[in-house]
Amino acid sequence: MIKTISNTAFSLGIIAVLNFILITLVYRTLGSAGSEQMILIVLGISFVVLMNNMIGGAALVYLTPRKSVYSLLSISYLWAIASVIVVGSILYILELVPMEFFYYVMLISVLECVFSIHNQVLIGKKKIVNHNLLKILQKVIQLTCFIVLGITIQNFVVAIVISYLFVLILSVYFVKYHVNFKEKDSLKELFTTSIKYGFDIQSSNVVQLLNYRLLYYFIEKTMGTALGLYGLAVQLSESLWIPSKALAIIQYSELSNEIIEEKRKQLSLSFVKASFVITSVLLAILLLIPNSLFLFVFKKDVEGINEIILALSLGVLSIAVNQIFAHYLSGKGIYKYNVRASIIGFIVVVSLGWFAITNYGLIGAGIVTSLSYFLSSFYLAVIFVRESKSKLSDFFIRKEDVTRVVGIFKK
């Protein structure tokens, strides 16, 4: 189990590094304007995949060991087509993606939705190594094609198409061994079960993505290409979540195998402290990097990026511990609080976002983002304290916290 989790955490790290290289290449070559187009393209695809995951996400993982894979794939493919049509129409009408790349966005959305469906089946069948391999391979092929073809936004989307075509074919090879065409379930009942289960989990993710990224559209409408610089600052800041995400994965696994509530509480508290300390150290290092070094790495104008990262700092720390609180509650089968936390953050973004950006620019966007993340996390912290019956003194770092976390990693 721990080996599998370590493999997943390692895969997250590799993908994050490859994404950073990709972002660096775009910003160095195409500047803030090119980075802005890349961000909007990726964000548009994310919204399509988000709707697709209502059925083709966590629900698919849960139902794969219990139902006919053939029937699950049937309803998932149909839902993927519906997701592309519905969300694609919204993106087109509101012009939320660069319109010259709209059809590329739709093609990539189809490929990524089907690829995601296959990956969820692999997770459901506990083929985690295959899942991780496909995710890394997709990013490696995308980056390689992007460099070989040349650094343009046109080649950026072409590289994504090529990479997904390759891994999609490979995913079909992996999934076919789990499909029995003779085993079938009622599609109507399966759809109802999937949508009920998927909605509980995915509704939180939908609101959270809006919480994370709605400001991108506000910035694009009011400040244009400045979105490229803000997006770069966000990517650098969010890269600090890799350790907390890895910790959250390990925490979730440990909680699923622990029935004693006191041990579940103590484990989660130790991981909250570890996540906070590690992220704080990494954040301090990032904040100490001089603007001249950012300029050396990214070439183009990055003036003010330090200040934007500083404005995002509280939010970065908040989400680092938020993930541990959320996994504790999810481990108990309580999802409603995660949804409410996301809604709290979303309300902050909607009510203050436009005002902050028009009056205080990118710094204002960073402050609103931090406030949104902080209030969401504070709400989950309060719920965690209530559900786990923790005290304020439990959040002080103790020797046994270090021993507990190190002991798990040694396994």
pLDDT confidence bin for 270, thresholds 50/70/90: confident
Residue scoring higher pLDDT (287 or 265): 287
CA gap 230, 362 in Å, rounded: 7
Q: What is the pLDDT of residue 408?
A: 60
Could you tell me the pTM of the whole model?
0.86
Lowest mean pLDDT among 20-24, 37-41, 269-273, 333-337: 333-337
Q: What whole-number distance in Å separates Cα of residue 151 and Cα of residue 145?
A: 10
Residue 375: pLDDT over 80: yes
- pLDDT, one tens digit per residue, over 48-85 is 999 998 888 877 887 888 888 888 999 999 999 999 99
**What secondary structure letter does DSSP report for 289?**
S
Which range among 26-40, 59-73, 81-95, 110-124 shows the weakest confidence by mean pLDDT? 59-73
- The DSSP letter of residue 240 is G
CA–CA gap between residue 265 and residue 385 (Å, rounded): 9
CB atoms within 10 A of CB 145: 18
Per-residue confidence (pLDDT) for residue 409, from 0 to 100: 57
Q: Which amino acid is at 394?
A: D
Q: Which of 26-40, 195-209, 233-247, 375-389 has the lowest mean pLDDT?
A: 195-209
DSSP state of 97: S
pLDDT one-digit tens code per residue, 122-176: 888 878 788 889 999 999 999 999 999 999 999 999 999 999 999 999 999 999 8
91-109 residue pLDDT tens? 999 999 999 999 999 999 9
Name, in order, each residue with C-beta under 8 angstroms of 216's C-beta and a sequence gap of 6 or more: 39, 40, 43, 227, 230, 231
pLDDT at 139: 96
Tell me what the mean pLDDT of segment 385-400 comes to: 80
Helical H segments across 57-127, by residue range: 58-63, 69-94, 102-124
What CA–CA distances, in Å, run from 402 to 271, 272, 278, 334, 335? 9, 12, 12, 28, 29
Using CA atoms in the order 279, 396, 338, 231, what is the torsion angle rounded to 10 degrees?
-20
Checking if the pLDDT of 2 tops 60, the result is no
| Whether pLDDT at 267 is above 70 | yes
Residue 330 tokens, joined: 């999810």
pLDDT at 118: 94
Residues 6 or more apart whose Cβ sits within 8 Å of residue 333: none
Domain ranges within the chain, ordered by starting residue: 1-185, 203-411
Alpha carbon distance 140, 157 (integer Å): 14
Query: What is the mean pLDDT of the segment spanning 276-303?
Result: 88
Q: Which of 20-24, 62-66, 360-364, 403-407 has the least mean pLDDT?
A: 403-407
Report pLDDT for 257: 64
Burial of 399 from C-beta contacts in 10 A (0-12 / 13-18 / 19+): exposed
